[in-house]
Structure 1
């Protein structure tokens, strides 16, 4: 649903566009400086860099007019910024993160991971898209919003919560949300750790699959043994593990955990229509994602598999000698699984289904341990329909200069369900990433046009949400947001 371009809105549209265009070089320069800080949460040797990254962001927030506070969270730090125009006005809280994934420099071709460079319309460097670019877009979106002539009449408080542990599962986020509950009170949460469909089709993201990870370790002999001496009479843990992994899916792509699909929400006619309207081509998808073939669950389109259906992946596999061979039967083999959870599925149920499956399929004589990380798992989330979602869709149209034919999901995952449960506010997704940005892989980058137009969309969203939220939620009391929350 789109609002008409009234004279006031058109003036704001022109002003935001001009502001972002003139300030994009400065924004890129600052993003490059931030990307150069290797804030890798999973690396204990980078703790000082996580502090540097948090302090850099706090300084950027203050320069943009926010007050900024740094919270220690485990071995990392979260940064909280506030721009309060009126304590009684509607409040939006933006969530993103400043920690990044480990990089393998030998695999990078465009530049070194933490030596940012601009090339062919992209800024390359670890974290450029996931998610420092997205977080910085919100800082500059707030700048652009306040620079519009009518912003003083828009009663909207903006809060930014940029954590430093997302890439390791946000282990201390729940505690932070509990201890600082009053400071984080808001009417709406904007989740900014997402990818949109394409720079020319900035379709609204309206759902996110949940995620559950597990590690399966299989043991055979008490230690590595010579393959010729014991071959044929000893359990090989690598083969046993491969047997179990090979039975996770049938030839049609269906996941074989017992009763796994019982709770998966069927696609509604409206959702089918929204997904079908998004332009998709196999060859284009393969080129953008550096993949070689499209596979998946039979009976569903690639878009449905990406955004509405569950999936299971092996994300690490380790056994035996990885360098020089000793010709031994390994004592141990392990795999890490990532399960993407669809709407209506529950983490606890899927975890138990996995346990039953492994116990049933493990070959005789093999010992194993299965660790299912339920504490850091996240349920799936779908944004509620209504005027806020309509405003988000319209803001994208203004920011990118085009309207999207449909709505998409986010193939990734994150603490959306945790945030809405702890803060009692609905979540809407607005990011500046793209599938081709190479998150977690070599040569990560952000499309500069996507970044600048996404920043403009953010400013337009703030220019419209104040009036909408003041009608929908008269106060910042979380009880007032109940009407915006999705229902089961």
Structure 2
């Protein structure tokens, strides 16, 4: 590009690779208490990297209630510059089962354009491209400070469900004040199809416990005469969906924000190769709610999934019993306008309706759940984002998509009361949360270029226009 951004990034690719090699070696697994010291080391490493980049204010927020988060701030120096808050996370998923990894998950390995390690795509690579992009922005503009007031909040518990993030937001709300939030923890539909996420689903999750007799019973003596919790949990799961794939929880769809015809037309433009999707999923068939495409099912429709089920004897051979207990783990992905508290009530009603006499049911919730978030198309914040991504992809059109996963973005958006957009370059086959996670390096460099261009675009737009709907 004539403004030098791409040249700078090309000349400094080795800097990004060197930083990734160091940071990816830190096994900051937030879900495992014995790795919490590594989560702190991970936070300290990124704090140092932000200081090396030039951020004058860098702090580690660790009040004992949550694992360390990193806050960095670099004022523009321009009186009317808008303020941008970048959200990401530095913790990573567990690596089990370790035997399925082809390489050591914490020994980064480069093979051509691919880098494999836990956290390469989710989310360390996607965060580090911002530091390179910021350096390119400064070099290309000749500025000593960013064109926007730039803030980073880098969480340390996202891979554990962000259990304390709302506490952090409440405590530091004034420090996080901004005119727009840029989330860098998502991806694109394909390497040659630039896209941006326009919504993330919310989630509630629970374990349902069913208790029958107070001890395991001989199935020959008592079977057929007392209720069986394992059979009851199987019937409960079978009743969760109808024959068309619709969730049968009372009121589940009452508040769903349906896709408009225009949005469905835009979704239809996104290349959606079901055979390739099945290959990545290593599945032999598609399944889901009737009347919707795979892409719509993944990001724009609510779902209910069975994450685990059990009860009774699990060992080799036979143990002929009526088991005392059974359980099922359920998760519900939610879309815009669904209230997690209403879904919780509906699930509890559903469980009560499907619990037979003689069995008691209890529902153990994993927190209060998180809401879905939505990005309106066509807003100034969205348009400048797609302009920046398009430039990094040589003028290609940027398509909207939806993220099927869930995160704390809706809570963050509510706390700062600002528009939110997504700049992510992960790919569907990055195997995040799975063995052999990888990231495509050329995508990281494109992400750095888009970020470099975005700050000038938002500065030119100004505060008032950036916040307008």
Q: Does the TM-score normalized on the shorter chain lie above 0.5?
A: yes
2:182 alignment partner in structure 1 = 190
- What's the offset of the Cα at 1:278? 0.6
CA distance in 2, matches of 1:330, 1:26: 59
2:75 alignment partner in structure 1 = 84
User: How many equivalent pairs are there?
Assistant: 465
CA distance in 1, matches of 2:137, 2:93: 31
Provide the secondary structure at the position in 1 that maps to 2:327: strand
Provide the secondary structure at the position in 2 that maps to 1:204: strand
CA distance in 2, matches of 1:116, 1:230: 57
Distance 1:113 1:191, change over 3 A: same
Query: What does residue range 225-240 of structure 1 map to in structure 2 within 5 Å?
Result: 225-240=217-232
2:325 alignment partner in structure 1 = 332
2:440 alignment partner in structure 1 = 447
CA distance in 2, matches of 1:244, 1:120: 49
1:30 alignment partner in structure 2 = 19
- What's the offset of the Cα at 1:130? 1.1
Retained in 2: the 8 A contact 1:16–1:148?
A: yes
1:122 alignment partner in structure 2 = 114
Greater Cα offset, 106-115 or 289-298: 106-115
Distance 1:224 1:452, change over 3 A: farther
Provide the secondary structure at the position in 1 that maps to 2:342: helix
CA distance in 2, matches of 1:358, 1:312: 14
Q: Which runs of 5+ in 1 are unaligned?
A: 1-9, 474-480
Distance 1:103 1:229, change over 3 A: farther
Provide the secondary structure at the position in 1 that maps to 2:309: strand
Provide the secondary structure at the position in 2 that maps to 1:195: coil
Q: 2:391 pairs with 398, 401, 408, which one?
A: 398
1:95 alignment partner in structure 2 = 87
2:68 is aligned with 1:68: no
2:35 alignment partner in structure 1 = 46
Retained in 2: the 8 A contact 1:206–1:429?
A: yes
Provide the secondary structure at the position in 2 that maps to 1:11: coil
Provide the secondary structure at the position in 2 that maps to 1:189: strand
Greater Cα offset, 215-224 or 436-445: 215-224
Q: 1:276 pairs with 233, 248, 268, which one?
A: 268
- What's the offset of the Cα at 1:373? 3.8
CA distance in 2, matches of 1:178, 1:423: 10
Retained in 1: the 8 A contact 2:340–2:369?
A: no
1:4 alignment partner in structure 2 = none
Retained in 1: the 8 A contact 2:308–2:328?
A: yes
Provide the secondary structure at the position in 2 that maps to 1:455: helix
Distance 1:224 1:75, change over 3 A: farther
Q: 2:454 pairs with 454, 461, 484, which one?
A: 461
- What's the offset of the Cα at 1:357? 1.0
- What's the offset of the Cα at 1:70? 0.2
2:461 is aligned with 1:472: no
CA distance in 2, matches of 1:163, 1:213: 21
Q: 1:17 pairs with 6, 9, 31, which one?
A: 6
2:148 is aligned with 1:159: no
CA distance in 1, matches of 2:225, 2:95: 41
Q: 2:101 pairs with 91, 101, 109, which one?
A: 109
CA distance in 2, matches of 1:373, 1:21: 45
Task: Provide the aligned C-alpha RMSD in A.
Answer: 2.1
- What's the offset of the Cα at 1:176? 1.3
Retained in 2: the 8 A contact 1:217–1:334?
A: yes
Retained in 1: the 8 A contact 2:250–2:346?
A: yes
Distance 1:44 1:223, change over 3 A: farther
1:180 alignment partner in structure 2 = 172
TM-score normalised according to structure 1 size: 0.90
Retained in 2: the 8 A contact 1:218–1:367?
A: yes
Retained in 2: the 8 A contact 1:400–1:454?
A: no
Retained in 2: the 8 A contact 1:154–1:467?
A: no
Q: Which runs of 5+ in 2 are unaligned?
A: none
2:429 alignment partner in structure 1 = 436
Provide the secondary structure at the position in 2 that maps to 1:317: strand
- What's the offset of the Cα at 1:339? 0.9
CA distance in 2, matches of 1:300, 1:357: 25
Q: Deviations over 1:139-160 (max 9, x none)?
A: 2221221121355696311111
CA distance in 1, matches of 2:145, 2:464: 15
- What's the offset of the Cα at 1:175? 1.5
- What's the offset of the Cα at 1:380? 3.4
2:419 is aligned with 1:419: no
- What's the offset of the Cα at 1:99? 1.0
